[in-house]
Amino acid sequence: GKGLAVFTSGGDSQGMNAAVRSVVRMGIYLGCKVYFIREGYQGMVDGGDNIEEANWSSVSSIIHKGGTIIGSARCMDFIKREGRLKAAYNLVTRGITNLVVIGGDGSLTGANLFRQEWSSLLDELLANNKITKDQREKYKFLHIAGMVGSIDNDFCGTDMTIGTDSALHRIIEAIDAIVSTAYSHQRTFIMEVMGRHCGYLALVTALASEADFVFIPESPPNLDWREKLCSKLEQERKSGQRLNIIIVAEGAIDREGKPITAELVKNVVVENLQQDTRITVLGHVQRGGSPSAFDRILGCRMGAEAVMALMEATPDTEPCVVSLDGNQAVRLPLMECVRRTKAVAQAMADKNWDLAVQLRGRS
C-alpha cells in the first residue's frame, strides 16, 4: 500500500485528534500504510521513534481529547534546507510520499515548500548515496493535503477552522458563570478573548452573550469610543440592567492603530462611571478541554477528505487544503489560501480594514 503520514504542527486546537483518527482509519481502510509523525516537523527531521506506524486501535479513545496526542511543535530546523533534507530522507526510507498536515498557515507554507523542493532533495540524497536509484524513482512524487487547526478561525478559504467552535463553547461557559456573579453585585465585566488579529471569537462571543460592547481588530472604533462606551453602559444601567459585559479581542485597536486593552477599557469605565469593574482574561482555557461535537465531526470529515484527495492525486496535482464551504468539505489550492491569509495580515498591518474583511470573505 501507499505510505501516508499525518502530523500536527504549530499551535494546537481541539478537534485535531478527531482529524488524526480519521486520517489513520481512512488511510488504513483504503489500503495505505499509515504513520504518525510526532512533534510536527521536528519529528520529521529527527526521525527515529518519532515516525511510527499507526494501526486501527492506536487512534481509539482519542476523539474526545483536546490538544493533539501526537504532539505539536515549532521547528527551526525545518525552516532550513538542511533540515528538510533530513526530513526527506526519513520519509523516503519509510516509503512515505503522502503527507497530511494539520496546522496553521505557517505549517502549510512549510509543506508547500517541501513539496516544491522534493525532487531536488531526492537528487541530493541520491548524490550523497543516502538513497538508491530505485528509491529515487519509486518515491519521486510527494503529495500533500492540509487542514487548518486553529481556534482563531483566521484562515481564508474555510468557513470554520478546527477548534474554533470548541473555543467558543469554552468562552461562553465562562461568561455564563461570570454573568451570574456580576448580576448579584451589579458589576461590569470585561472579558479578553483570544484570536490574534482576528476578531471572530470576540464578535461571536459578544452576540451569543448579549454583551453591551465589543472591540475587534477589523473594526477599530473612532477615537470617541470612550464617550460612546460610557453612554451605552450608562443607558443600559438606567434601563434596569444590573450588569454590563464588554468583550475585548486580544488584537483590538483604535483607528490610529493603538491597542485597546482590557486594562484601558477598565480605566475608562472606572474613571467616568465609577462602576465596579473586573477583568477576566481567559487565556489558554480557550484552547483546552474536550472538543465540541462540531469540531469532532469537522475533524473527521476533513481527515477523510484529505486522504481521498491524496489517493486521487496525480503527479501534477497541487497541494490542497480541505475546507468547509457551507456544509460541504471541499479541496482548495493550498497556496492560494495561504496567500490570501497573508494578504489579510498585510491589510490589517496597513490599517486597510475594509480590504482585510473583504479578503477574508468567500472568494
Known catalytic residues?
Answer: 152
Closest approach, Cβ 4 to ligand ADP, in A, equals: 20
DSSP H helical ranges for the chain? 16-29, 40-46, 81-92, 105-127, 133-138, 164-185, 200-208, 225-238, 262-273, 293-312, 334-349, 353-360
Dihedral-angle region of residue 326 (phi above 0 means left; psi in -120 to 50 means alpha; beta otherwise): left
Q: Between the CA of residue 267 and those of 259, 279, 283, 362, what are the distances in Å?
A: 14, 11, 21, 38
Closest approach, Cβ 355 to ligand ADP, in A, equals: 21
Alpha carbons 7 and 39: distance in angstroms, whole number: 8
Q: Of 33 and 74, which CB lies nearer to ligand ADP in the complex structure?
A: 74
All 3 cell numbers of residue 86? 533530513
Within 10 angstroms of residue 93's Cβ, the number of other Cβ atoms is: 16
Closest approach, Cβ 88 to ligand ADP, in A, equals: 13
* Contacting residues toward ligand ADP, per CB under 6 A: 9-11, 41, 74-75, 78-79, 103-107, 109-110, 113
Closest approach, Cβ 168 to ligand ADP, in A, equals: 19
Q: Of 75 and 175, which CB lies nearer to ligand ADP in the complex structure?
A: 75
Q: Between the CA of residue 293 and those of 89, 153, 271, what are the distances in Å?
A: 38, 17, 43
Smallest CA-to-CA distance from 308 within 114, 163, 98, 14 is with: 98
Closest CB to ligand ADP belongs to which residue?
A: 106
Q: Of 77 and 234, which CB lies nearer to ligand ADP in the complex structure?
A: 77
Helix axes 225-238, 262-273, angle to 10 degrees: 60
Q: Of 113 and 297, which CB lies nearer to ligand ADP in the complex structure?
A: 113
Alpha carbons 44 and 42: distance in angstroms, whole number: 5
DSSP string, 152-214: S---TT-S--EEHHHHHHHHHHHHHHHHHHHHHHT-EEEEEE--TT--HHHHHHHHHTT-SEE
Closest approach, Cβ 116 to ligand ADP, in A, equals: 10
Alpha carbons 154 and 27: distance in angstroms, whole number: 28
| 276 Cβ neighbours under 8 A, 6+ residues apart | 185, 186, 187, 188
Closest approach, Cβ 121 to ligand ADP, in A, equals: 13
Q: Of 114 and 213, which CB lies nearer to ligand ADP in the complex structure?
A: 114
Q: Of 44 and 168, which CB lies nearer to ligand ADP in the complex structure?
A: 44
Alpha carbons 249 and 256: distance in angstroms, whole number: 17
Alpha carbons 363 and 359: distance in angstroms, whole number: 8
Closest approach, Cβ 91 to ligand ADP, in A, equals: 15
Q: Of 78 and 118, which CB lies nearer to ligand ADP in the complex structure?
A: 78
Yes or no: say if 277 and 243 are a contact pair by the CB < 8 Å rule.
Answer: no
